[in-house]
A and B are shown apart, each in its own frame.
Chain A
């Protein structure tokens, strides 16, 4: 069974705080790692797709890093805003899986104004 673990499960921060969460995945047979943002009553929206060890991606105040050798990815949000409140999902794709994505259960971020 392929396990993708995300921590913490939930997080409450104040507006302006910077925060980060972790996605852990098996380090063997790595193919790709996805990050999605899922706002309440909407559908998941792609943030990043990362494929190489050491990859760093950035979109505005959100950035992500990838370590395939140790099997983890970090998502950082700088200067959190209330509109960043959402569940952040990571999904792992391993070689030989026919490119299927295995999702973690997500980190629920609440940013208080």
Chain B
């Protein structure tokens, strides 16, 4: 158990809908990262927050947004969902904002299915 929690574990929704994925980092970790794992794709970095502020952005679609709250939990909002958004979404956390030199701890993931 990495100490990172994600809810829900599974989510099935229809095209055009909006969903929110939630992540709580390990105790003491200030950085939260969101990744997307689609079929045949490697883990794709979406966005990073550190202590409430956005630190780095990857190939995140404009329909997607995220935030980190004062209690350090983070939410990833996905709107106007398309079939291609079906994927496994991981949250990870690390102690500092320099994610390159510190290992990241991954949550169990949220499996999103868009029908």
Contacts and interface: CB of A to CB of B under 8 A. Distances in A.
Interface of A: 4, 31-32, 34, 36, 42-46, 49, 51, 89, 91, 93, 97-106
Contacts of B83: none
Interface of B: 2, 4, 33, 35, 41-45, 48, 55-56, 58, 90, 92, 97-109
B109 to A, nearest CB: 6
Given A32-B101, A93-B100, A100 B106 contact: no
A70 to B, nearest CB: 20
A22 B2 CA distance: 26
Contacts of B109: 43
Do most interface residues of chain B lie in helix, strand or loop, or is the interface mixed?
Answer: loop
Nearest to B102: A49
A99 B99 contact: yes
29 contacts: A34-B103, A34-B104, A42-B108, A43-B109, A46-B105, A49-B101, A49-B102, A49-B103, A51-B101, A89-B42, A91-B43, A93-B101, A97-B100, A98-B48, A98-B55, A99-B48, A99-B56, A99-B100, A100-B48, A100-B56, A100-B58, A100-B99, A101-B33, A101-B45, A101-B100, A102-B45, A103-B35, A104-B42, A105-B42
A100 B92 CA distance: 12
B106 A93 contact: no
A105 B33 CA distance: 18
A46 B104 contact: yes
A45 B90 CA distance: 12
B98 to A, nearest CB: 5
Contacts of B101: 31-32, 49, 51, 93, 99
